[in-house]
Amino acid sequence: MRTGIVTAKANFAINTATEKPMSRKPRKTATQASSLQLGHQVGLPASPEEAKLDRVPNPHRGTNYLVRFAAPEFTSLCPITGQPDFAHLVLDYVPGDWLVESKALKLFLGSFRNHGAFHEDCTVAIAKRLVREIKPKWLRIGGYWYPRGGIPIDVFWQTGRLPKDVWVPDQGVAPYRGRG
């Protein structure tokens, strides 16, 4: 008795009962079947407005816990000079019903690479967009911008009050000390 044969080039199989070709469509994985960017090759969005922030259900909705993302190589452009600005961003949030998907967050942050905005605008806009998309119980962002013109600018923003039962460690970014 003959067994089913699969030919990758033709993408069909033989029905062993009838010896006739059968259509064989590749099965989609859960990621492929979803609209998430995760699992797909996706280019860097041209701007923060075009960036898609994917969210996934929080598997521990009834538990308060902290999620931290650190982006030590964040870049944007000065809106006046077009010169690059660099920051170390630390984003802490207590999830509600949703988590931000990390690849989507990475692409969103990368979309600022060619975006002209002041430090304060970039930092607060990132936080507000996340609040709008994932509706966390609490969110805080620290934008530790590297000096240009000799002046570092640190920008901090948060929503409301931290839930009482959540431990939030220090953001771990040393203050700028110049030459020592």
Contact 90, 171 (CB under 8 A): yes
85, 92, 122, 165: the catalytic one is 85
Asked whether the beta carbons of 13 and 6 are under 8 A apart, the reply is yes
> Cβ-count burial of 169 within 10 angstroms (0-12 exposed, 13-18 middle, 19+ buried)?
exposed
Q: Is 134 exposed, middle or buried (0-12, 13-18, 19+ CB in 10 A)?
A: buried
**Which phi and psi (to 5°) does residue 151 adopt?**
-125, 115
**106 is written with which tokens?**
């990475």
How far apart (Å, rounded) are the C-alpha atoms in residues 93 and 108? 17
Q: Judge whether 85 and 145 are in contact, CB under 8 Å.
A: yes
Q: How far apart are CA 91 and CA 127, in angstroms?
A: 8
Q: 165 catalytic, yes or no?
A: no
Residue 85 known to be catalytic? yes
Q: How does DSSP classify residue 17? A: T
The single residue listed with the structure tokens 């530790």 is 144
| Active site residues per annotation | 78, 85
